[in-house]
Amino acid sequence: MSKRIIWFSTNQIPIPEQLRELNRIWPGSGKIIHADKAGPGVIIQREVWNSIKDLLDRFDDLEGDEMITVLPMSMISRLLGYNIHPIYAKMKREYRDYMPAMIEHTKNGITLRYNFIGFKRVIGITIDMIPLVPTPEKEVSRRGA
């Protein structure tokens, strides 16, 4: 079944591998379309969103079926509070220059390289914590050395 997918990201547009994967999951959905066009496809929204309400209003205005987000975890958590379960594009950072990368992004003179792994649906976000305790001056290595 084809879907109308709204892609919320200020700096990343879908790469061909991502569009192919969307088309595999929902045949007919893996193409970029203009917001004014009816029917299935991917609509890119590159605005900066000041509130979740603004983002949800835009999603509704565009009659989206699915939402892909490149947003901070705090905003994704708020979407979950509205019972919206966005799709997350799982990426793997490549640290070695000789490894191929699908996406290269340079910021402040530093090039970051990533490969697309797949899409995941966000169903929850948790933060696990432990108490912070003072570190002994002479700490014993966990390896026993």
Q: What angle do CA 22, 15, 25 make, to 5 degrees?
A: 10
Weakest-pLDDT range from 77-81, 113-117, 127-131: 113-117
What is the model's pTM?
0.78
For the segment 118-138, the average pLDDT, to the nearest whole number, is: 88
Q: Which two tokens stand for residue 59?
A: 């999603």
Chain centroid, CA 75 distance in Å: 12
Sheet bearing 110-121, strands edge to edge: 41-45, 4-8, 66-69, 87-93, 110-121, 103-107
Share of the chain above pLDDT 90, in %: 46
99 confidence band (pLDDT: 50, 70, 90) = low
In a domain, 12, yes or no: yes
Q: Is residue 84 part of a domain?
A: yes
Q: How much is the average pLDDT of 32-56?
A: 89
Q: In angstroms, what is the C-alpha Rg of the chain? A: 19
**Domain for residue 19, yes or no?**
yes
In a domain, 57, yes or no: yes
Query: Residue 43 is part of which domain span?
Result: 4-88+116-121
The pair of structure tokens assigned to 118 is 């797949």
Residue 99 in any domain: the answer is no
Convert the pLDDT of each residue in 5-16 to its tens digit.
999 987 778 888
Number of folded domains that form the chain: 1
Higher pLDDT among residues 63 and 113, named by residue: 63
Q: Does 62 map to a domain? A: yes
**What does the longest C-alpha to C-alpha distance in the chain come to?**
66
Tell me, what's the pLDDT at 112?
72
Amino acid identity of residue 123, one-letter, is I
Of 122 and 102, the structure prediction assigns the larger pLDDT to 122
